[in-house]
Structure 1
Amino acid sequence: MKLLFVADPLERFTIYKDTTFAMMREAQRRGHTLAACEPRHLHWQSGGRVMARVRDITLTGDPRGWFTSTPERMAAVADFSSVLMRKDPPFDSEYFYATHLLEQAEREGARVFNKPRALRDHPEKLAVMEFPQFLGPTLVTRDPAEIRRFHATHQDIILKPLDGMGGMGIFRVRADGMNLGSIIETLNQGESQSVMVQKFLPEIADGDKRILVIGGKPVPYCLARIPQGNEVRGNLAAGGLGVARPLTKRDQAIGDALGPVLAERGLLLVGVDVIGDRITEINVTSPTCFQEIEQQTGCDVAALFIDALETALDRQA
């Protein structure tokens, strides 16, 4: 297969933990060929197909120079066996436009994972609304008064922007309401930005679990991201400690319930975030944690992913 990865600049990869790198490594091990581009390299002109400036790459096995590449060349996106959209958030206007270009490439015969329309239809904070049976008390609003009422009811709350990643912009407000007004102003931007507010779950002390769902099936291990020191955030980008664990019965039930629904919509890889027994987010843009789980448990998540990719392509052939 010829695989095209639409991702962030390769030169910025931290390969000892990067999930896209793990995918590439496993794909190359199986004899698949690799190419890469960034979303800004996609373009379309009337009368033609969606094109991209791509580099053909080969992994070297040397962490000091982990890939070699050919000079950039123009290629039709639909000419690749599969396109893997792995651009990190934020899901901004340019990301949105890239999904439309990739959807046009699908009309021309491209096979894109995760499916561009599914990426647009499942914003990572709001996708949880579809599964209220697994959700703790949650509010989405622009109205500061509604946030204050939610705080009065639940006393200890978490506030976060809808377009954040890696724990950015997350605040905790306890029963005393300290700085609630200032935090609302910061996130709400004069009632122009919606805010997600959730009841604080004390189980965060045991970790914010990332459950990976591949091809509709949960991986048997999750990565619990445990806050360190006085930090309330467990995100690895915010200094959390990642500890791999077998799924609990509740974790498995969540994965089993969400997996087939999301896979049917073209979401080959999903990262479900769970605190205690409640989901907090459903990550679809570029879920991570493959390498941390493999390094600690021996479960080769990248192999499970490439298995699922090959199966999906066989079904579409």
Structure 2
Amino acid sequence: MSQRNILFVADPLDEFKIYKDTTFSMMREAQRRGWRIAACLPQDLQWVSGGHVTATVRQITLTGDAMHWYHDDIIETKALKDFDVVLMRKDPPFDAEYIYATHLLEQAEREGARVVNKPRALRDHPEKLAIMEFPQFTTPTLVTRSAESVKAFHAEHGDIILKPLDGMGGMGIFRVRQDALNLGSIVETLNKGGAETIMVQRFVPQIVDGDKRILIIGGVPAPFVLARIPQGTEVRGNLAAGGKGVAQPLTERNREIAETVGKALAPRGLLLIGLDVIGDSVTEINVTSPTCFQEITDQTGFDVPAMFIDALEVELEKGP
């Protein structure tokens, strides 16, 4: 088999925290298998009529040195169709620029590029709203701009979580209990006076046991999850918000949920999904740049990056 060439569309390399970065773990496994690695930023993508979608890319080699973890072999402009696969690994926010990048990537697909996850699937499954397809697995949820609807939802459920639709890492999440303290102010802050849509959910008390990240790769759930457990008085389990990550075996109920979601979504071009589950309730379906590969691998010995690259190789063997 000829040497594969893989392009990562990602955040700046110099901002990677390689001891926990999932994209880095993918790169390391790809290089271990002899693949050539390139990286670019979303803003490096461009298209000119009559030509192809191109990017100014950095061909890199991983060094194994924690301080200087890569070196540039060459910086060049290449058509995306000339790579064996393009991995879209840009972190949220899922803003207009992200959407524009998916349109460029979709044009690259029309030109013959293989893009994972598929650009159209990324657009069609915004991470918080994607749960609407699976109401049987969700806690009571409201999506609205209306402050009055939020107040009515709170009156019905008493203890609620409010969150913006474009946040990540636990950003902008609020809990309001029975006393409704600051509910009006929180809604005004999140919905910008009715200009933006927000999500409201009934509080799931099993958060004390962790917000479980279940990885679904090629439609198949990984056998271990990362339970992100809130610390101190914090209500958020997100690692970025100080949660403690504890790897655990996948429970039968969580397997059932993950297999149902994976069976529905993987055929749409979502090779990698990060399902967030609290108790038995799905709270988010992450498809932009799911994480937790290294934490699960380090704690359990199960090689998540290898499972992912295996699935990617199977996908590539299918051909266009």
Query: What band does the TM-score fall into relative to the shorter chain?
Result: over 0.9
Runs of 4+ residues deviating >2 angstroms: none
* Residue aligning to 1:23: 26
Residue of structure 2 aligned with 1:176, choices 165, 174, 179: 179
* Residue aligning to 1:13: 16
* Residue aligning to 2:232: 229
* Residue aligning to 1:114: 117
| Alignment partners' CA distance in 2, 1:256 and 1:121 | 20
* SS of match in other structure, 1:72: strand
Identity rate of aligned residues, in percent?
A: 69
Residue of structure 1 aligned with 2:92, choices 89, 92, 98: 89
Of 204-213 and 255-264, the range deviating more from structure 2? 255-264
| Alignment partners' CA distance in 1, 2:15 and 2:214 | 25
2:305 counterpart of 1:302: yes
**1:70 CA displacement:** 2.8
**1:261 CA displacement:** 1.3
> Structure 2 counterpart of 1:94, which letter?
E
Q: Would the aligned equivalents of 2:57 and 2:78 in 1 still touch at CA under 8 Å?
A: yes
- Structure 1 residues 151-230: aligned runs within 5 Å: 151-230=154-233
2:68 counterpart of 1:59: no
> Structure 2 counterpart of 1:96, which letter?
I
Is there any run of 5+ residues in structure 2 with no aligned partner, and where?
A: none
Q: Would the aligned equivalents of 2:213 and 2:225 in 1 still touch at CA under 8 Å?
A: yes
2:78 counterpart of 1:75: yes
| Alignment partners' CA distance in 2, 1:59 and 1:82 | 19
* SS of match in other structure, 1:109: coil
Q: Would the aligned equivalents of 2:46 and 2:53 in 1 still touch at CA under 8 Å?
A: yes
| Alignment partners' CA distance in 2, 1:184 and 1:93 | 23
| Alignment partners' CA distance in 1, 2:233 and 2:284 | 22
> Structure 1 counterpart of 2:116, which letter?
F
Q: Would the aligned equivalents of 2:21 and 2:294 in 1 still touch at CA under 8 Å?
A: yes
Is there any run of 5+ residues in structure 1 with no aligned partner, and where?
A: none
**1:190 CA displacement:** 1.2
| Alignment partners' CA distance in 2, 1:119 and 1:261 | 14
Q: Would the aligned equivalents of 2:225 and 2:249 in 1 still touch at CA under 8 Å?
A: yes
Q: TM-score, normalised by structure 1?
A: 0.99
> Structure 2 counterpart of 1:3, which letter?
I
Q: TM-score, normalised by structure 2?
A: 0.98
Over aligned residue pairs, what C-alpha RMSD do you find?
0.6
> Structure 2 counterpart of 1:117, which letter?
R
**1:96 CA displacement:** 0.5
> Structure 1 counterpart of 2:200, which letter?
V
| Alignment partners' CA distance in 2, 1:210 and 1:95 | 23
Give deviations 1:8-51, integer Å, cap 9, x for gaps: 00000000000000000000000011000000000000010000
Of 69-78 and 96-105, the range deviating more from structure 2? 69-78
Provide the aligned length of Structure 1 versus Structure 2. 317
> Structure 1 counterpart of 2:300, which letter?
T
2:143 counterpart of 1:140: yes
**1:260 CA displacement:** 1.8
| Alignment partners' CA distance in 1, 2:282 and 2:78 | 40
| Alignment partners' CA distance in 2, 1:310 and 1:271 | 20
